[in-house]
Structure 1
């Protein structure tokens, strides 16, 4: 077969072991998330999604488990279709061990890239919040919570702050109690806000697979949206440029972790370049 021929993935029964198990585990995690949410009101994302490192809900295992969590049917279908298409080829080229290492490392690269974006976007606000906590007065508290930035961040959280309903009246009648309430509120708000930054999905690893496929088989034809033939190298460049543009413009309501995708793509390209240097063991 020529590398210019269209690429056609094999059936599920012929998938190599790691690719097949990645697909199975993702589907099982997705179904378990739905079942627990509907029957037990347990949000599995709270425990297995990747939280920001300073969030109360952060656990080290989330660097791995977040790769198997997805936010909806379209999310998991797109990612698993990509793993199905590219994973089987790359696993056959590298073998199961190297393929699994690649999949995990690109996922970690994606997570760290998104961590950097989260830190950049919330770091100054968290510093401001902690400064008010360390020198708390009713005036500094009221000034903070009435600011536009605080109100915008409050909208992103799902904390229960009902105990603050009568705060203004309490501040008039009992300033010391109001100060105590303000202190507790800032603690609860900060925890809720930090916990709201959660990364889920295999997209980072998928972009790593896409990048590797484009480097190894640059002229192999792929069908964009199933009917537009595009060479793999142009698909990689196009998707990379689109993700960079989307990440920089940061449109309102866009909850896609574009820089996680770019992080996975970058790590994937670097790994292929490193492994190519050792050609005796590359294939």
Structure 2
């Protein structure tokens, strides 16, 4: 299951969101020749990825930034950019271009901080934009808890698009990060940086909290019932499923 779109149109062109997607794509294309060479790709990930042990020793501060634009493969990149595309434009619409840029970087910093705290002795490099994008999701939850998000389910031959309120989808996702982080806290080796996801989500939520208060806080939710304060986007196709096939008699 993964989200494919929301029904929350933005009023301004999300230049920063598009720029971040482009920057991640450019870095991926630059690294593309090295993905087939394990030694070369490992060397690059170790140099520019975030290695918790190195950071705790006071080195590699710049990798907090560089690691946010690197990905382990195409599916890693595609999944992250899909989430950024769906949720980023609405946060940029509310925060503005400059503040959204700061917000994104702060979320990435929060992701790095919690991952390092959770496993300070790890020598496994952390790469990917998912920590910063988790911050976008945390901010989105606070501002648009009842925005409609279409989620694509694929279970063997069952394919269907089901609408979810944002709060349910995002809190479920956040809960899974905490659960998986707790289950994998003693894990050695590679894998998913669940604590980075949780750290980014929390950082993004806290960053947007003063903005939410200025917009009215609980009064904003009371006025909009948690929905976006603009007409919802409508799509020609809102759900889909595998067609029924009947046997001929």
Normalising by structure 1, we get a TM-score of 0.63
Stretches of structure 2 that go unaligned for 5 or more consecutive residues are 1-5, 154-160, 217-249
Stretches of structure 1 that go unaligned for 5 or more consecutive residues are 1-5, 123-193
Q: Match of 2:184?
A: 250
Q: Match of 1:106?
A: 107
* Cα distance in 2 for residues equivalent to 1:98 and 1:272: 10
Query: Contact 1:86–1:209 (CA<8 Å) still a contact in 2?
Result: yes
State the 1:46 CA deviation.
2.4
- 1:235 pairs with 2:236: no
* Cα distance in 1 for residues equivalent to 2:58 and 2:114: 20
Q: Of residues 251, 259, 282 in structure 1, which corresponds to 2:195? A: 259
* Cα distance in 2 for residues equivalent to 1:37 and 1:247: 27
Higher strand share: 2
Q: Which has the larger radius of gyration?
A: 1
Query: Contact 1:51–1:199 (CA<8 Å) still a contact in 2?
Result: yes
- 1:94 pairs with 2:95: yes
Q: Match of 1:67?
A: 68
Normalising by structure 2, we get a TM-score of 0.71
* Cα distance in 2 for residues equivalent to 1:54 and 1:218: 38
Alignment of 1:1-283 (within 5 A): 7=7, 15-36=13-34, 41=40, 43-54=43-54, 58-119=59-120, 122=121, 196-225=123-152, 227-250=161-184, 255-279=191-215
RMSD: 2.8
Give the number of equivalent residue pairs.
199
State the 1:47 CA deviation.
2.3
Structure 1 stretches of 4+ with a deviation exceeding 4 A read 36-40, 55-58, 251-254
Higher helix share: 1
* Cα distance in 2 for residues equivalent to 1:275 and 1:115: 28
